[in-house]
Structure 1
Amino acid sequence: MKIRLNLLSQLLVFMVDNINAGVIGMGKMGILHTGILNSLNGVNVKGVAEKQDLILKPIRQLLPSIGTYNDYLDMIKKENLDLIYITTPTSFHANIALDCLDHGIPFFVEKPLGISVDDCKPLIEAVRKKPVINMIGYSKRFVDTFTKAKEIIDSGILGELIYFNSSMYVSQLFSKGKGWRYKKEASGGGVLSTLAAHLVDLLVWFFGEVSLVEGHTKSYYSKDVEDFVHAYLLFEGGLGGYMDTSWSVRNHRLPEIKIEVHGEKGMLVVTDDYVKIYTDQEARWKNYYKQDLYAGVEFDLGGPEYTREDRHMIESVKQKQDTGLDILEGFKVQKVVDGIYKSASTNSAVEGDEL
């Protein structure tokens, strides 16, 4: 009898902890998150929403236990969901998140938060009035090397930070692009909005709030969005430096980030693959490679950072606690991105209340 009661108790705990998730948008990121979520203990993907039947048909055939919907509101009404992932084109993010808020359902939204600051403001105001657990998909914060760099910067070992230089490149576009990412009304912008928002997020995470930006953009392959961006960023703490990004640079098969930080007592260089730190006190370089820092994950699809990101979201929902990477963090990035676009269009710096 005692054994049966113990088993029943364990079963009830499992039922309480079990998370029923829904995914809206079954493009690359929707498929990725669905796969990861289904691999995590205590998580069930109960429904997916996608407008295109061509995409839903194989899901119905291969995963008949998952509900499939053309209208995400039907999924919200019919499935008992504890969490929703929003992985649609950027222009839909804010409105879908507002619907999640209206139903009191925690949500995860892929980056960027929206197509503009104005697009995001109603969501930010709503979540402040009616908060639910939420998270934005700035997955680079879960990469071992960038986590280590954050730890080193926060330790103060570099002393006062003086200057930084940063870049993010990928060999993606060398002819006219096809799809929503190359249409400003759907994506919000080109390489800066859809790719280098990751770099902006890391810089804000490392250094704090931005007080001034000055940006320049260039379109060569694209008609409606930018292919190249160069910007100067000044942070409230006084640190200033540059970021450069393009999806039209050769010899970068995968997106590559590099951030170089110069301080009063040394310097740091971090990429997706390594962290290197030089201190005047030791007068030598100390290297940390990703294989040395790596902590395994239960399922690796697209990179371990995505599993860590999803695991963090799930645990936050289970524990009913803030994710530490909510849409307010995403809004900080949105303001910097918008500031760079505004600066580029007016050929002048943007600062203060304009950000």
Structure 2
Amino acid sequence: MEHKIRLGIIGLGKMGISHLSIAGGNKHVDVVGVCDSSKMVGVFMEKQTPFTFYDDFQAMIKDANPEAVIVAVPSKFHAEIIDALLDSGMHVFAEKPLTLDPVVSKRLADKAWQLELINQVGYHNRFIGTFTEMAKLVESGILGNLYHFTAEAYGPVVTKSKDSTWRSKPEEGGGCLYDYASHVIDLVNYILGEIKQVSGITLNKVYSKDVEDAVYGTLELQSGLSGVLSVNWSDHTYRKMSTKLTALGTNGKLIADATELKIYLNEPVKGFSFEKGWNTVSIGKLQAPVDFYLRGEEYTAQLDYFIDSIRMKRKNGQNSFASAASTDQAIQLIRKSN
């Protein structure tokens, strides 16, 4: 009989429940424990599900003894929990951002590496076929010399003044920068190169009192390439989050979002099927199928990748703590520059 990965989940909010549903559909996983501090959640889980519930993550670590744990609690709690999990020899998948302090994130990345434990952070855009393909095309040099980029995300998360929640508390990872812009910043790091410095940053409040609802500014990469960051989670003109990355080069332009990849070539390039002018490839031709669909293939793909990394002992895979620490560093640059 095949060995199944013993998996625990800490945090049963929106993302935790999503991860639980996906993990439950993975044939290589046995969910041995779930944990949340909410008594109401605990009552529901104990009455309505077959999962063993804990209200203390240390008790889950001791009693359920999982091999791997998904951490889906507010980011301010990540460091304490992840430290304990790594000390217990457990592989960790954490929601983004990894922590609110890049120094702490780097320490956790180094610790996981030294202990040879699989580590991953939930920047799911890296598992969307259009962005994966864009990364390959940029690396191929098909655009010639890159000279500019734009990184954008818009959506209707905060469209009126609301009562206080974690989204309105910067100390808990709330605000557009941590919750929305982090995804775009991570894509820039992944596809175009790591961010070295920032300028002209504005963090605008639209409806929120204590956190920003929009982030604008210029990013400069280690390569010297610079571009524009434009993120707004108070945009009524969008039905849901829309993320787009555009790269401009001497031989054309690449545009990718969650639905399609478009490439304009001034001249065709040998070895590629793209013609001169505009070429469009839909997500359906680029996205690999998954066994369990919930919210989008990318959510299942990232967890499948995490589980496969454990089974294959793949130490430095996609979305590692180290890459997430680089994103956290860029976030800090933006916050400090405003």
User: Could you tell me the TM-score, scaled by structure 2's length?
Assistant: 0.94
Task: Confirm or deny that 1:71 pairs with 2:87.
Answer: no
Q: Partner residue of 2:136?
A: 151
**2:270 is the alignment partner of 1:284:** no
Identify the structure with the greater helix proportion.
Answer: 1
1:170-185 alignment, distance < 5 Å: 170-177=155-162, 178-185=164-171
Alignment of 1:88-167 (within 5 A): 88-167=73-152
Percent of aligned pairs with the same amino acid:
32
Match of 1:200 among 185, 198, 207: 185
Q: Tell me which residue corresponds to 1:267.
A: 253
Q: Which amino acid aligns with 1:81?
A: P
| Larger Rg computed on CA atoms | 1
SS in 2 for 1:196: helix
Instruction: Provide the secondary structure at the position in 1 that maps to 2:151.
Output: strand
Give the corresponding residue for 1:45: 31
Match of 2:273 in 1: none
Aligned residue for 1:85, secondary structure, equals strand
Letter matched to residue 319 of structure 2: L
Question: Aligned partners of 1:160 and 1:47: how far apart in 2?
Answer: 51
Query: 19, 31, 36: which is aligned to 1:33?
Result: 19
Moved over 6 A (4+): none
Unaligned segments of structure 1, at least 5 residues? 1-10, 345-355
Give the Cα–Cα distance (whole angstroms) in 1 for the partners of residues 246 and 88 of structure 2: 44
1:235 aligned residue (209, 216, 221) = 221
Q: Quick check: 1:325 aligned with 2:311?
A: no
Task: Please provide the CA RMSD for this pair.
Answer: 1.4
Letter in 2 for 1:309: Q
Residue 41 of structure 2 aligns with which residue? 55
Q: Is the 8 A contact 2:196 2:330 kept in 1?
A: no
Shift of 1:123: 2.4
Q: Distance in 1 between matches of 2:12 and 2:64?
A: 17
The residue identity in structure 2 corresponding to 1:88 is V
Whole-Å separation in 2 of the counterparts to 1:125 and 1:270: 32
Aligned to 1:3: none
Displacement after TM superposition at 1:155 (Å): 1.1
Aligned twin of 1:253:
239
Q: Corresponding residue for 1:299? A: 292
- Determine if the alignment matches structure 1 residue 20 to structure 2 residue 6: yes
What secondary structure, in the 3-state scheme, does the structure 2 residue paired with 1:123 have? helix
* Structure 2 stretches lacking a partner, 5+ long: 269-275
What is the aligned length? 328
Q: CA deviation at 1:131?
A: 3.8
For residue 119 of structure 1, report the CA deviation from its aligned partner.
Answer: 4.5
The 3-state SS of whatever aligns with 2:253 is strand
Once the two structures are TM-superposed, the CA of residue 151 in structure 1 deviates from its matched residue by 1.4
